[in-house]
């Protein structure tokens, strides 16, 4: 997924942290509970689907218990303009 696709699916992140000194262009988008619109957010999963990325809704705050990083925060990591990890 591209940054534009993530914005459509999740909205604006609470904050963005670039990784300085990395050989790849990497940044982490952080979504905190109460940091934006308080609506259920879809799950984003990597791998297992055609094209490697899937979007679905459900679970607590739009996240399942297995993919939930914490009740307060989740992150989306981009490398070179595409999602590589979701916590």
Q: What is the pLDDT of residues 24-65, one digit of tens each?
A: 789 999 999 865 544 445 555 555 555 555 555 444 444 443
> Which residues form the domain of 75?
3-86
Average pLDDT, the chain: 73
pTM of the model: 0.57
With a cut of 70, say whether residue 82 has pLDDT above it: yes
Count of structural domains within the chain: 1
With a cut of 90, say whether residue 67 has pLDDT above it: no
The 3-class SS string of 21-84 reads CCCCCEEEEEEECCCCCCCCCCEEEECCCCCCEEEECCCECCECCCCCCCCCEEEEEEECCEEE
pLDDT at 57: 44
């Amino acid at each position: 997924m591209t940054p534009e696709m993530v914005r459509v699916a999740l909205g604006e992140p609470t904050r963005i942290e670039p990784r300085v000194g990395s050989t790849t262009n990497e940044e982490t988008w952080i979504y905190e509970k109460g940091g934006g619109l308080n609506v259920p957010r879809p799950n984003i999963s990597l791998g297992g689907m055609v094209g490697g990325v899937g979007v679905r809704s459900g679970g607590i705050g739009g996240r399942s218990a297995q993919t939930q990083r914490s009740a307060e925060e989740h992150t989306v990591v981009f490398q070179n303009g595409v999602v590589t990890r979701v916590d």
